[in-house]
Structure 1
Amino acid sequence: MKAYWPYWAKISNFQENNPTNWHLLPFHLMDVAAQGLLLLERDKTLANRLSKLLKLSLEKLKNLIIFFFCLHDIGKFADTFQSKNPELYQKLLNRTHPKAGNNNHAEIGYYIWKKYLAANLFEILSQNHPDLEAYDLEDLLIPLARAVMGHHGAPPSLESDCLEDSLTAEDKKAITDWFNTLCELATLDWLEDLLHNYDEESLIIASWLVAGMVVFCDWLGSNPNHFPYHNQPIEPGEYFESIAKKSARQALEREGLIPPPVAPVQNLAKLFPGFTSPTPLQAKAEQWEPTESPQLVIIEDATGAGKTEAALLMVNRLMAHGAGQGFFFALPTMATSNAMYSRMAHVYGRLFQETTEAKASLVLAHGSGRLQTKFLRQKNRSNKNPLEQDAFCAAWLADNRKKALLAQVGIGTIDQALMGVLALRHQCLRLLGLSRNLLLVDEVHAYDSYMHGLLCNLLKYQAAFGGSAILLSASLPQKTRQELVDAFNRGLKNPPIQLKEDHYPLLTWSARGKVREIKTPAWKRNQRKVRVDFVSDKEQVLERILSAAEQGHCVCWIRNTVADAFDAWKTLKDKIPPENLHLFHARFPLGDRLAREEKIQNLFGKNSTQEQRAGQVLVSTQVIEQSLDVDFDVLISDLGPIDLIIQRAGRLQRHPRPYRTLEPILIIHAPEFTEEPGEDWYKKPFPKAAFVYPDHARLWLTARGLKQKGFIQVPEGVRELMEGVYGPEVEEQIPCGLQASFYEAEGKSLSHQSVAYFNRLNLEEGYAAQGDKWLDDQNAPTRLGEKSTNLYLAKWDGGRLTPWYKETDPLHAWAMSQVNVAAYKVEGPAEYEEPITDAIEKTKESLPDKGKFSVLLPLFKDPVTGCWQGEARGSGGKKVALICSRDFGVEI
């Protein structure tokens, strides 16, 4: 009997700490290898990309995967792991005295590879290659070995040689026996080809995908519902062929992980029933024929030009050409993700061909994706006949944000994609999902210099894996567009290509080391001149709002801070009926915010009626400018950067309404313009917003450009306005009083780019330890800026604390009762006395994070106002009062 049989890998069914069932280690190793084999057979995109990177035929690639995946838990042969369960340690190995040493089986496995298994392979290979040096073979295979051994979310490292102390002589004999059996189970034909076609850069890039694969396969292969436990020896070849492969096939089928065939090329009307007349941009997308190589497309066009539909037409064509089997649509916020999910649910299925065994999954992937009502309804539907459903979601994909990017269609915040290029646990799983799919990124202009730096790195990875990307934006500075194209080409090892075209709208298409800049005609419906009217006096702004509302128009005032929005709302509250006045900002508890989004969409959305809209007034922060498809008869905006002003202008009379005769005028509330502003030109009238948009020089340039023009000409004048604020010549045009603000902001931007460069993972180093520590998701540095505190709002009923939001599922209720506030406003909990302190401690146990990363805030009802009030600890230990209401959210 082989020495490897009395070793366990998985245990279950404990009775008084004594396991009654266990899974032998050789079987688990083969389970995961079989899962990898079946994944390659069913996932043609992944198989083709790995074959190209490793320069192996598909059959030899399969043997490589079987060999390495059968070693992923080789460290579990160590005495220090086996002794984790004393009962089985004695029962199977007849041992009672565990060795002292490291019990991290991933690190031990990596050590075993470097110390023993690489030498065994060298001995085999050197028979036909007498000139081969041992270190050459080690260098060749170490990226793959490191990827496989790091299957618990982070690359392994060898801190010292003390790992030898974790192994007994019997353990080493078991490892040798298993290696010899493995060489029979998976032939080593791949090794000759890998050596002959050695390409270090490609092999290192492949290591990222192999790392993601082994995590994926280990998660599935560790599920006893798919791989029942076996605790008696079975001949390895028989087990692998008759049991493991069959279980792996069923696991993919049961979990809805078999990718369906993609749909053939379709026109706009077929993909979007009801769209009979394409916009010029959509017509370009219909005519577009992609190449066979990785490609980047940047779409720049005005709001309402049909960018999303054009992007999906391109997705359809790319997928039909074999460039991907699905896509991930990344957006700047949870609100924009929720809105896109609702749009996509009725469309995405037409990009695939349904079969009896495979249906495309649609997953919402962001911090609160599992809490979005429509997603929950879709996720919890009966699975009896999923092919009849509009939106199908495989439960295995939906239960973890790390796995969500593996779905055929993922919708989520850009953070979920950026985590793939940061040193976070299981980031390789995100890269695996992205690499098989197309990457779509919306609102590219909305990302700051830090996120832009991470996005550039992500594009580099996507290109290196053989993937493609489509970026959407209302408008981009020329410099930003150039950096995005350069980053993608770096991933392909192509030299930089200088962009020249300044036309708008524009399609930028980079493929095969070349760039085409395609002029796109403007859509006639989007061709308009929006007059700009500056108002510096707040009272005049209020008068114009009231006048417009009295005349039956619907009005929106976009403010730059929550505090300013509160201020305007309170002033208008005494002058406008409560049913006609609405407040929208990011400081609503999540459940209330989702309900408010739906209400605002109904009131001001595309299908809202004249009767619904008449006299309605909305005071909002920036959340309205991207998240919802709404429009207003009259729009006021606080002064902001030019790109955001253009974006906000897109919410002014966006949808045609035959009854509307009002001229589109964008009213900008701004400081009085002067050619010689002082340093407090913006800060004095807008003291809070001055911290939100600290580059007051660019705000002045925005005001100057709009003042000089007097209007926004869409689309012809957009590029000129953008370059007038962000172009290379603007520095010399900045007044003396605002130069300090300009250079401070520039310095901060450069600093953020440096931080992005420091934080990002280096593609060329492969799946290897890059830094001191790999973090968990909750510490993901996807965004810089002010820190926030997560509050869970709890009502005090006199005896206990209950979630602000009522739900039958307690975890869901608490999650829907959370809200983020700036950390400088709330640093921690206030001090309470009994019985409140006791209730807080008890309630923390029911919170999703057990209160480790959040503050539980007790709220007490005011009998006079009906509002709920609470206290917290603010900056410097000061007491901070908070008031909460479903009407206005959380006021601090």
Structure 2
Amino acid sequence: MAKFNPNDFLECHTNDVLNVLKSMKSAFPWIPKLSRDDIWELLFYSILLHDIGKCAIGFQKAGAKGKIWGYRHEVLSAAFTQFLDYDAETKNLIALAILTHHRYLSELPVPTRVEEFVWDGYLEKVNELLKNADYIEEVFLPKVPYWEGYILGKRSGKFKLPSDWKNKLKGYDFDDLMNWYERNCKAHRDVLIFLKGLLNAADHLASAGEISLRSLPFIAETLELKIPREKWRPLQEKANNVRGNLLLRAPTGYGKTEAALLWADANAYRQKKGISNRIFYVLPYKASINAMHERLLSYFKSPELVGILHSSSNYYLYSSSLEYKRLSSLYQKIFTPFKVTTPFQIMKAFFGVGFFEMTLSELANSLLIFDEIHAYEPNVLGIILAMLEILNGYGSRTMIMSATLPSFIEELFAEVISPKELKVSNEEADRFTRHRVRIIEGNMEENLEELAEQFKANGLMPALIACNTVDRAMETYKRLKAKGYRVMLIHSRFTYGDREELERKLRSNLNGYDFVVATQVIEVSLDISFKTILTEPAPLDALIQRFGRVNRQGWKQGKIADVHILTRGSEKDEKVYKPYRIVRQSVKILEELNEDFLWESSIPELVSEAYSSVEKELVESVLDYKQTAFDLFDGLQPLKRSGSEQEFYKMFQGLEIIPSRFAGEVSKLIDAGKGIEVHRYLVPIPYWKLFAIQKELGNVFTYDKKHRMMIANLKYSHKLGLLNESEENEIF
């Protein structure tokens, strides 16, 4: 048996993995050019031998009883590569791929003659394997010529067991293999990446019950079923004719997503049954990723064709009533041709996180679409630039698009990917104009009640009140609530379950509220339209994203809505936006436009002007991060666990905590095997906020080892979210 519960014979599992290989060979014809000409043959023999160590009688007996054997079968499997008719270098490459197809080298008990105890353990396990030597000789070996013909188209006879194979198995020189790896890893880096990555991918897919990859149907033909070609906009038509990297700038609402899909269609590798490139649609926020996944499913119909990957995509699939266990597993593999994801999921591969060779193999010759590229901090932009420069060498093509991209960011990407450029003409852009600037002197505290009354008197409800901090949003909510208005508060410090419920209420009954008070989360989340907005000052590109929640379809009727911008925020805003002079410059620009239309054609130039005073330092910061990323990537070794993995999580991930009032319920869910439901009770907290709370309130965080969860001894309100008050204090 190769697997138990359910049982799967070794030759059956091997056959399934080889079927995946056959599918890969057809789908990814570019792999040999990126590694070596005979990579498919090397992968064939890696698959052929990857599980042969499971013939050990100890593995069979332990598995039949539902127990763990306690030894790594891949160690025994790797020793069989000495019987391949290749030169020593090629045999070592195959052996290393087999040896690490479950664990990295640092995690394996690689036998060494230097340590007698370790070597004796290996010999003991070889003897266990040899008790099933008749199976290897009489059942497994006779199938090899058939498999060679099926996959390679010929009976190569590269694998033969000599008469003394049993003794030779006991004498395999693992020390020599490891020494060869240390000397030659860098020279054979790409081959090792693809060999291990594709072996992992094929093995994982076969184990999941899938024996072939999926291909995407031709995109232009699919789009035409919903949008007839004669209704394509000029830039969409042009995008469908661009070969190579592309930078596209167009207003919100123009149809950039469809333009991106048509660009992907033009650059895809086409086969009879569809497109076999892997396509990654990259967005910065989970909410916009979830919305995009739903949108793409409306085009391509099958969740097997359009996947989703972010830190809580499992829960999204679960709450969407999709087959979450199966799909969330498949989306981690080279199965789904189109994935909507965050840049962090792609970055993992470059930081050596997880089965990074598998991700790098999938990224080869991929099509990458970066939407909302303006939303990233300099550290993320620097890493993205470094990744794209590396992926250029692997045949990948990239499309960058935004409605509000500063010119200096455009130039940074132009230096790396040398894209063709498509921009909407000024005349066409101005057709999407739908906002008029209204500057309000002072801050939220000074103006809120008076403006709320004006909005009510002028029929401008529901209105959006956008705040820069959660604390300011809570204060604003309470003041409006005290005046008797129907108000909703939404920010990042609600549990995921409450946030989901709040967004559902907004989508289904927006007119049931006079005001929605929100932080930056509103910039990218919901496809809803307010009548007006009152916002604290922020960088101009962020403000334009906020304005995008107002009068969203007004351009269709030529309708203009007022957007109200305060000239001052709160003292804490300088910690949110750095350097803060971007905000001051943005306010100054908008003051000059007071009472005037915000013409869409002027936005790119205005955004660039807002950043002009800090352009030099931001460019330097981005390039510093880019170089740091290159240095990290250069030190990445295939088959080894990277030291950069912890650095990755520290850089980009905060914590998800459980408010203490829900700790008992969460413990019950975990004990009942309903761990997926726990997501409803999690509140995301960045590390800086964690440290700030600890500094103010002391150690209010405790770790539950049994249930592996961080509990915050803080008050929580379903209407206000997580509060900066310890549970002992009285709630207001």
TM-score, structure 2 normalization:
0.77
Q: How much does 1:701 deviate?
A: 2.7
Give me the whole-angstrom Cα distance separating, in 1, the residues matched to 2:665 and 2:296. 38
Counterpart position of 2:178: none
Q: How much does 1:617 deviate?
A: 1.0
Q: How much does 1:559 deviate?
A: 1.0
Give me the whole-angstrom Cα distance separating, in 1, the residues matched to 2:62 and 2:549. 68
Residues 407, 704 of structure 1: alpha-carbon distance in 2 compared, 3 angstrom cutoff = same
Give me the whole-angstrom Cα distance separating, in 2, the residues matched to 1:814 and 1:890. 17
Counterpart position of 2:43: 65
Q: For 2:603, which of 687, 695, 718 is the aligned residue?
A: 718
Give me the whole-angstrom Cα distance separating, in 2, the residues matched to 1:204 and 1:549. 65
Superposition CA RMSD, Å:
4.5
Residues 410, 166 of structure 1: alpha-carbon distance in 2 compared, 3 angstrom cutoff = same
Counterpart position of 2:197: 212
Residues 471-490 of structure 1: pairs in structure 2 closer than 5 A? 471-488=400-417
Residues 320-331 of structure 1: pairs in structure 2 closer than 5 A? 321=270, 324-325=276-277, 327-331=279-283
Give me the whole-angstrom Cα distance separating, in 1, the residues matched to 2:669 and 2:555. 37
* One-letter amino acid of the structure 1 residue matched with residue 246 of structure 2: V
Q: How much does 1:563 deviate?
A: 0.9
Counterpart position of 2:717: 885
* One-letter amino acid of the structure 2 residue matched with residue 717 of structure 1: S
Q: How much does 1:38 deviate?
A: 1.6
* One-letter amino acid of the structure 2 residue matched with residue 363 of structure 1: G
The answer to whether the 8 Å contact 1:418/1:782 transfers is no
Residues 190, 730 of structure 1: alpha-carbon distance in 2 compared, 3 angstrom cutoff = farther
Secondary structure in 2 matching 1:372: helix
Residues 279, 631 of structure 1: alpha-carbon distance in 2 compared, 3 angstrom cutoff = farther
Residues 295-694 of structure 1: pairs in structure 2 closer than 5 A? 295-319=244-268, 321=270, 324-325=276-277, 327-349=279-301, 360-372=304-316, 376-379=320-323, 396-399=326-329, 402-403=332-333, 406-435=335-364, 438-488=367-417, 497=418, 510=419, 516-521=420-425, 522-527=428-433, 530-538=436-444, 539-554=446-461, 555-577=463-485, 580-604=486-510, 612=511, 616-656=514-554, 663-671=560-568, 686-694=570-578
The answer to whether the 8 Å contact 1:348/1:409 transfers is no
For the pair 1:149 / 2:91, whether they are aligned, the reply is no
Secondary structure in 1 matching 2:439: strand
Counterpart position of 2:648: 781
Identity %: 20
Secondary structure in 1 matching 2:431: helix
Residues 526, 891 of structure 1: alpha-carbon distance in 2 compared, 3 angstrom cutoff = same
Counterpart position of 2:729: none
Once the two structures are superposed, what CA deviation does each residue of 1:369-404 show, in whole Å capped at 9, x if it has no partner?
Answer: 222267641327xxxxxxxxxxxxxx533246633x
Residues 575, 449 of structure 1: alpha-carbon distance in 2 compared, 3 angstrom cutoff = same
The answer to whether the 8 Å contact 1:637/1:667 transfers is yes
Counterpart position of 2:32: 51
Residues 790, 756 of structure 1: alpha-carbon distance in 2 compared, 3 angstrom cutoff = farther
Give me the whole-angstrom Cα distance separating, in 2, the residues matched to 1:141 and 1:461. 28
Give me the whole-angstrom Cα distance separating, in 1, the residues matched to 2:431 and 2:367. 30
Q: How much does 1:442 deviate?
A: 1.8
* One-letter amino acid of the structure 2 residue matched with residue 820 of structure 1: P
Q: How much does 1:562 deviate?
A: 0.8
Counterpart position of 2:170: none
Once the two structures are superposed, what CA deviation does each residue of 1:806-830 show, in whole Å capped at 9, x if it has no partner?
Answer: 9998323322111123322556999
Q: How much does 1:264 deviate?
A: 6.5
Give me the whole-angstrom Cα distance separating, in 2, the residues matched to 1:477 and 1:144. 48
Residues 528, 54 of structure 1: alpha-carbon distance in 2 compared, 3 angstrom cutoff = same
The answer to whether the 8 Å contact 1:366/1:416 transfers is yes
For the pair 1:791 / 2:648, whether they are aligned, the reply is no
Q: Structure 2: 5+ residue runs without aligned partners?
A: 149-153, 159-183, 725-732
Residues 276, 214 of structure 1: alpha-carbon distance in 2 compared, 3 angstrom cutoff = same
Counterpart position of 1:385: none
Once the two structures are superposed, what CA deviation does each residue of 1:472-526 show, in whole Å capped at 9, x if it has no partner?
Answer: 22232334334334444xxxxxxxx5xxxxxxxxxxxx3xxxxx33343234531
* One-letter amino acid of the structure 1 residue matched with residue 126 of structure 2: D
Give me the whole-angstrom Cα distance separating, in 2, the residues matched to 1:35 and 1:419. 28
Secondary structure in 1 matching 2:452: helix
Residues 209, 55 of structure 1: alpha-carbon distance in 2 compared, 3 angstrom cutoff = closer
Q: How much does 1:556 deviate?
A: 0.9
Residues 563, 749 of structure 1: alpha-carbon distance in 2 compared, 3 angstrom cutoff = farther
Give me the whole-angstrom Cα distance separating, in 1, the residues matched to 2:382 and 2:48. 38
* One-letter amino acid of the structure 1 residue matched with residue 456 of structure 2: A
Q: How much does 1:467 deviate?
A: 3.3
Give me the whole-angstrom Cα distance separating, in 2, the residues matched to 1:265 and 1:202. 41
* One-letter amino acid of the structure 2 residue matched with residue 669 of structure 1: L
The total of aligned residue pairs comes to 665
Secondary structure in 2 matching 1:652: coil
The answer to whether the 8 Å contact 1:212/1:428 transfers is yes
Once the two structures are superposed, what CA deviation does each residue of 1:336-364 show, in whole Å capped at 9, x if it has no partner?
Answer: 12221222221123xx9xxxxxx843333
Residues 84, 729 of structure 1: alpha-carbon distance in 2 compared, 3 angstrom cutoff = closer
Q: How much does 1:298 deviate?
A: 2.5
The answer to whether the 8 Å contact 2:460/2:532 transfers is yes
The answer to whether the 8 Å contact 1:324/1:438 transfers is no
Give me the whole-angstrom Cα distance separating, in 2, the residues matched to 1:324 and 1:462. 18
Residues 10, 484 of structure 1: alpha-carbon distance in 2 compared, 3 angstrom cutoff = same
Give me the whole-angstrom Cα distance separating, in 1, the residues matched to 2:24 and 2:72. 32
The answer to whether the 8 Å contact 1:151/1:215 transfers is yes
Larger fraction in helix: 2
Residues 77-156 of structure 1: pairs in structure 2 closer than 5 A? 103-104=71-72, 106=74, 112=79, 117=82, 124=85, 137-138=88-89, 142=92, 145-152=95-102, 154=104
Counterpart position of 2:710: 855
The answer to whether the 8 Å contact 2:382/2:623 transfers is no
Give me the whole-angstrom Cα distance separating, in 2, the residues matched to 1:790 and 1:481. 38
Q: How much does 1:412 deviate?
A: 3.1
Q: Structure 1: 5+ residue runs without aligned partners?
A: 1-7, 14-20, 90-97, 126-133, 192-198, 227-250, 353-358, 381-394, 489-496, 498-509, 511-515, 605-611, 672-684, 732-742, 858-871, 873-881
Q: How much does 1:584 deviate?
A: 0.9
Q: How much does 1:45 deviate?
A: 5.8
Give me the whole-angstrom Cα distance separating, in 1, the residues matched to 2:670 and 2:719. 16
Counterpart position of 1:240: none
Once the two structures are superposed, what CA deviation does each residue of 1:188-238 show, in whole Å capped at 9, x if it has no partner?
Answer: 9699xxxxxxx9999643433332221123234456xx6xxxxxxxxxxxx
Q: How much does 1:440 deviate?
A: 2.4
The answer to whether the 8 Å contact 2:283/2:343 transfers is yes
Counterpart position of 1:263: 218
The answer to whether the 8 Å contact 2:46/2:97 transfers is no
Q: How much does 1:588 deviate?
A: 1.2
Residues 258, 183 of structure 1: alpha-carbon distance in 2 compared, 3 angstrom cutoff = closer
The answer to whether the 8 Å contact 1:792/1:856 transfers is yes
Give me the whole-angstrom Cα distance separating, in 2, the residues matched to 1:165 and 1:374. 48
Give me the whole-angstrom Cα distance separating, in 2, the residues matched to 1:519 and 1:646. 18
